[in-house]
Amino acid sequence: MRRHASHISRISRKRLAVAAGVALAAALAATAPVAADQGKDGGADSADPVEVEYFNGPDSHPRHTQVPASAPLDRKQQATIKDDGDVLPIVEAGPSDTKVDVVFIGDGYTAAQQEDFHADVRTKWKEMAAVEPYAEYEDLFNVWAVDAHSQQSGVSGDPTSDVRKNTALDSAFFCDDIERLLCVDTNKVEAYASKAADPDLVIVLSNSTKYGGAGYNAITSPSGYDGIGTASSDHPDSDQVAVHETGHSLGKLADEYWYDDSSYTGPEPGEPNLTKLSADEMAARKTKWHNWLGQESPDGGKVGAYEGGGYHGRGVNRPTEDSIMRTLGREFNLPGREAMIAGFHKHAPVLTGVTPTDRQLRGTERMRVEASSHARVRWYVDGREARQARGESSVTPGSLGVPADGQAHTVTARATDPTDAVRAPEPLRLLTGSLSWQVMR
């Protein structure tokens, strides 16, 4: 197996952070391949079923169901995957531990079709990156393609339920007898995704023109990503499936649709786009999306408190009438965009250091930082701003005016993303960053 050299040379801080959660591998190891003919006798009766979200068609409200868990990989499968899975950079915006890393894995592409897969990834990412706030923050993303060689082209269940294909990830429509539900073997996905250095988003692109997809939102991977999204490669609306799923994985947003007139009776929802409060109550308590109340939202209408969401028709409110978290083909509402931008910055900090901060700098040693394109960088010496260095990413003690008195002085770089799209205190904290050095001249 080959990997891109500059990619695998990086040791991801996020990968190290999730190493302590290795026990989660058992959850994925417990998760039978959910091919079209599984869901009846998938061979994983002892494992808990996996909840998935699916989409019956463009401009429709998603639904949820449960499918059998994927069986642990046997030695032959492990050996096959070990020798497969080249990682190709599609977009490289910076080191993996300073960017959001989107990993596409292809299924239903034969060895001769890998270039087709790479072209499909470029097309799909271009479509996703055209959606706000992705468009404004596109420079925060790395995109990787992981090759998975299938024995046959296409996927099971396309076009009809009796079609069976031998593919690397067992992609299949008609999963659990639901035509548009496009399932995969989540253990195989994990094995391929882990070949990328630091996956934050994982999307399986299945070689098909048929509309469909799925969101495995309840899966937390040992490799660090939350959830798996599946989408057909060549349907013009499949990018909307992927974007909706990232609303869950990156924005931690709840679904804003409902199944019936049932009433929500639980505690105040933890997601930023659902509440039990009225608009007046939010304003009085200064909570949830109170900063956006009355504002025109990009998905249409004004932000308020609209009843229905989180699968319940009553007892819980959503910010707008019809965002992408309710209906595919729509846009994120203002609170949703705020949550997405904050989610981006959880993986891509506004400021990172190139020059180590764990040692004292002397003389003319240069201090270098990297900031996102939206961030404004300022430099301070012992708490006083060196105005002449505003916007600079590389400075020397002399250029900052550090006194040449043989004493130690503190130099600090601070960066802030000044966007007006984030207003709540918790997300705002993710839009600032600082680094400090001890400097002696």
For residue 173, which of 204, 151, 202, 201 has the smallest C-alpha distance? Answer: 204
C-alpha span between 90 and 123 (Å, rounded): 11
Q: 159 preceded by cis ω (within 30°)?
A: yes
SS3 category, 65: strand
Per-residue pLDDT of the chain (441 residues; tens, 9 = 90+): 333 333 333 333 333 333 333 333 333 333 333 343 433 333 334 478 999 999 887 767 789 999 999 999 999 999 999 999 999 999 999 999 899 999 999 999 999 999 999 999 999 999 999 999 999 999 999 999 999 999 999 999 999 999 999 999 999 999 999 999 999 999 999 999 999 989 999 999 999 999 999 999 877 788 888 889 999 999 988 899 899 999 999 999 999 999 999 999 999 999 999 999 999 999 999 999 999 999 999 999 999 999 999 999 999 999 999 999 999 889 999 999 999 999 999 999 999 999 999 999 988 899 999 998 889 999 999 999 999 999 999 999 999 999 999 999 999 999 999 999 999 999 999 999 999 999 999
Length of the chain: 441
For 108-247, where are the E strands, in sequence order?
Answer: 141-146, 201-206, 213-220, 226-232
Provide the token pair at 135: 């468009």
Which residues 6+ apart lie within 8 Å of 135 measured at CB? 129
For strands 432-440 and 361-362, give the pairing.
Answer: parallel
C-alpha span between 54 and 72 (Å, rounded): 24
Q: Which CATH architecture has domain 351-440?
A: Sandwich (2.60)
SS3 category, 416: strand
Q: Which residues of the chain are in CATH 2.60.40 domains?
A: 351-440
For residue 226, which of 331, 105, 347 has the smallest C-alpha distance? Answer: 347
Q: 95 preceded by cis ω (within 30°)?
A: no
In the CATH scheme, what is the homologous superfamily, with its name and number, of domain 5-249?
Answer: Collagenase (Catalytic Domain) (3.40.390.10)
Measured over the CA atoms of residue 419, residue 420, residue 426 and residue 427, the dihedral's sign is: negative
Q: Which residues of the chain are in CATH 3.40.390.10 domains?
A: 5-249
Q: Given this model, what pLDDT does residue 374 score?
A: 87
Task: Judge whether 234 and 202 are in contact, CB under 8 Å.
Answer: no
Distinct helix (H) and strand (E) counts, the chain: 11, 19
Which residues 6+ apart lie within 8 Å of 136 measured at CB? 374, 419
